[in-house]
Structure 1
């Protein structure tokens, strides 16, 4: 999911691509999107963007012509700027293309006035993102961890009595009421750098911090982070979780984040920057909200019961699965064949047993039935044979008795 740094990079992308560009006409929504229509149309307007935590605001500013506005302007024409606030969900981003290169999942589109026209699109394949033409940030979100640092710090430390801080620190870090802009990969990296177990009470981690931070360094935005500057920053930041929420997010902005420039496909810099999230050798556990937490060492006393980390090398496994060399194929085929043989050997006796038992049961059932039904199912020939066989000994005895009586009479 895009986090604070990625949304800020998205706003920088919009400002870069739309600088000096004039847009015109209505804002078009796709038919499949369930988000609201943006009731805005104008003959000429500009688009600018700002970010705050996990939200991006597009401002549509009409370009006023010389002189007073015409009374005969078309109905619905905007005279005042309109703000549209976006939340990216799982897969949202902005893209600026030609009209003939419109992305497949472009759910909100702003068209330029030039010919051929170009389009600024909000693209969201999974459709978890949303927008609101309200012009205001969500009221239940706290100050931005990057660009409202002092307000963010005061907001957290002044509400430590809130029940929200009874929960594990890893879960509280995703609470946008206090940590607006922090997401799954940022919480893993922040806790890892401070060696804080993810499932310890948030209040115990935060209650010793001061509301006013003496270390206010905005330099990460202006210069690149080398190994030396990283180690210095980590020494200065040790122990202060709120400070790392600020500085680590700025590091990602400086790196270019996950590449929310849609034309970028190389994320090697970001992957090299990660120290914990999806890194081989790290443990992972699902928290009480079902979100995967990456960490090292002991999870802490508030970890979910029965929690395990069976996928500690998940990333390595994925890399192995995508190795399609001949050698890899041969190994995979050999292993598959041996596993198939083993499974067949193990399964066949069980099946044979079941079959034999069924046969025995069926035979017994048939035997019982034949014994019970024998008198009814006998044929005439078999009954005659039985009568004759049963009558034979009686007839022989009678003949013997006749012979004896004849002898006696003589």
Structure 2
């Protein structure tokens, strides 16, 4: 007869009773035993490790100093914009030089070839203004498709001091982001159902407030000027990278390109570092916008949900794998698609407060952040939770409005669920 697992055990370090739940890590809240049984993901290379270290330092400094002002007002951001404009000036110079050489070199192959080469490089390095997914890829909603969702977005935008978006792209991952698209720089919100579906209505307001706060606060890295300059520099580094397993001629070319490659790489690192502190300030300000819109409590709860984003990805993959193994007792793909998001919400909803506390402690130990442009998550949460004057909710979704938004998202939910079940097993 199989014996049941004990509901508690003694901590091997301090002797306190430790609750045991087979679904989660067993750890001791008194002494911290086994709070972080895993190991943090190692950065890819020394430069990435340095970038993470600097990002964490910026986040800690800003937390200690306090945050005020807009994200693009500090001297580093102003210098970053100037440097970005210089990068774009080089691209424009290549285009002009290519046109001049092409015109003046008419009739000679070398002049024609050089002109075409310069114009080609300028074309590849040209600023890009973003685009929406092609038809048949991720669902794209416009105001006429989801008036209640856009109404909620507009209401939140008014609270944080900006306007709403022109399109919403529905994705699968546990994330949300804003950007622009097209020459007119229209606004787009990318909304991951892996995040949206596990949030309560007020937490959804918080995530909208956070993302729209990036528009309101003038986040430098979200702007087309700096973003495109970073992209152009990354392409330069790619073009100038040494050839692997080179021939004698290629080895000579690698030597010739070494100096310009490191110059370009240095400019890329400089621009990245100039905007990194502003990016971290922008995240703190966006958190503040989330609190103003949804309440400080809701913004704090959102920080906790960020900590289980990895569990969301694992659960979606588990659902996909199970659907692909239906011959061995798994559900059919149609069955897996139906109710996918409800099952995900139920799975995340079953995470107990004790596990969230463990994740919060682990985040503090590791300096967890969404990425290197974000401050450490535990500092973001602490700044909100310890606010001297907590914000009440300015936007309060009703049951009717929440149901109406759910109905508008029914079609996209089905499409994205189909994509998850089809693709996530790989």
TM-score by length of 2: 0.25
Structure whose CA Rg is larger: 1
Higher share of residues assigned helix: 2
Greater RCO structure (CA 8 Å; 6+ sep): 2
TM-score by length of 1: 0.26
